[in-house]
Every structure is written in C-alpha cells, then in structure tokens.
Amino acid sequence: MRISIIDLGFNSLKIVNYQVNDDKTFFPFYQKNNYLRLGEGLNGNGKLKQKYINKTISALRSYRKIIESQSIDTTLSYATSAVRDAKNQDDFVNQVFEKTKFRFKILSSEDEANISYLGALYSVNVANGLYFDIGGGSLELLYTENRKIKKMFFLPLGALKLSLKYLNPFTKYSINDTNYSKLFDEILNYLPNSEEIKLKKNSTLVGIGGTVRALLKYHNEINNINSYFNRHVNTLSYNTIKAINNKLLVMPLNEISKIKSIGEKRARSIVAGSCVIELLMRKLKFASIVISNTGLREGILLNYLD
C-alpha cells in the first residue's frame, strides 16, 4: 500500500509518500518541500492573504500530479499553526478543496502534540520524558511518565514566528544584541519551570522536528560525522547546543544559508529555533537531548494505520 502525507505548516508545504508493508512497517520513497511562507501572510486582522493561498493551491496542483503518477492509494492532508490561527481558515479549506480536491484537516495544538509524540515513539524509546516539537509557528511540550501523558504546554515560540518578530531590518534577518536580549526574555517568560511541569529528575529531553534535526546535522557536518541518524550520534549535550547557538548568533545570514545541513530556507529561522532549544535545556537543567528522526508525519501515518 502507498500512502501520501501532505503537511502544511507555518512556512512550508511538504509531501512525503510512503510504502507501507503488510506488517505496518513503512519507509518514505518520495518527498518534496515548497517554502510558501503561508504563516507570514497572516495580515493585521489575522487572516491568510490571498496571494499565499494561491501559492498553496498552485503547489497542491503539482502534488496532485505526483500522487497520480506514483499510484498512491490514500492521501492524508493536514494543516497546523498557520491555518489553525487564521480567522479565515474555513475559507482557506474550502478554496483548496474546490480547486485541488484536497480536504485538509486542521490539527489543534493538543492533536499536534499527541500525534508528534506518537510519531517520535516509532524511533525513540523514552518512557519518562519531556518531548518538544518546535515548528515555524508554535512550540508544543508534552511530559510523560511510564509512557503516560501527564502535562502539555502550547506556546507561541515557533522558530520562524520569533525570527520575524526580532529580525534586524538593517542587517537582513540577523538578530542584533538588543533584539537577542528581548528574544531571550520572551522565550524564558513563556517556558514553564520544573515545578509547573512536575518534572522528575530521571526525565529525558526528546526533540522532534526539523529545527532540532538541522542542529544535529550541522553538528555532524562540522565534526565530519558521515552518519546522520543512528544510535551513536542522535544525542547532543547542552554544551554542544550552546556552542552551536553562539556560533549561529554571530554568523551573517548569507553564511548560514551556505551551510549544507541548514540551507537557505531554514537559515531565516534557525537562530531563533536554536535559542529556544538552548534556553529550554538551561531552564530545566537538561544536560543532553535525544533527537527523534520521526515525528508528526509518521504519527499521522501510524494513527491512520491503527
């Protein structure tokens, strides 16, 4: 069986096609990403701008051709923070369905956290953990004990959303010292403390999503580690995260864009994203982080298969 997952986030639209075996194991055999900046199109009255909706529709029409050419059996389409926060989300969904025949499900923050956790469990065996998924528009935290969910937090600390707020207009997306201080304060004010989470000392921090995976890839790139995800390299220390963050903070955007593991599109958001991760580890006193190579898309697929 072949299943296509279409993921519409704050900044990008992505299609991943999976081959699903009879035993419900699966592997991706095709993927494509379009950076549409849909969330950036939210205007002053909280509505998605039509020009960004049109870009989304255009990309989805190309995805329809891909699905038809690759004999996909089932397509699962969902949207997260950008559409979730938009006042005209119904109009968006209706326009998309009318012009592309894709019917998008809008995930609530709670749905997104739960499904990301389910997806992470496919590759990470952590029973007592604080799982976080940082996307372009939001940050979800989910705390578990013996694999039972105890607490959830939904915070407006998306990597791209923060970057857009604290960009320095004179240096083209770089965050200057003053803005970094403001960014630092905002992140710390939103992040819960150990008492609010009721965090136990033996808990493990687990990172989900493209931002934290990009930091792992960057660490491997600068240290000439060829393997990406395996049991030996998918943990990073706090000191490593801090060092990477400090390095990115003083690096011009055009230099960040040239880093193979980060790329031009993620360059605009990686600094704010790395700040969130460093401060989360610092505030909650985590010495290391485990990085999951599966997350929301795999959770969507697993949820469907179950």
Q: What are 199-258's pLDDT values in tens digits?
A: 998 999 999 999 999 999 999 999 888 765 554 448 999 999 999 999 998 888 889 999
Closest CA to 10 of 114, 61, 108, 83: 83
Q: How far apart are CA 149 and CA 164, in angstroms?
A: 32
Largest CA distance in the chain: 56
Q: Class assignment of domain 2-106?
A: alpha beta
pTM of the model: 0.91
Q: How far apart are CA 186 and CA 135, in angstroms?
A: 17
User: Where along the chain do the CATH 3.30.420.150 domains lie?
Assistant: 119-296
Structure tokens at 248: 């990115």
Helix (H) or strand (E) holding 66: helix 50-69
Q: Are 41 and 192 in contact (CB under 8 A)?
A: no
User: Where along the chain do the CATH 3.30.420.40 domains lie?
Assistant: 2-106
Q: Give residue 166's pLDDT.
A: 84
For domain 119-296, the CATH superfamily is Exopolyphosphatase. Domain 2 (3.30.420.150)
Helix (H) or strand (E) holding 215: helix 210-222
Alpha carbon distances (Å) from 44 to 38, 47, 87, 108: 14, 8, 11, 22
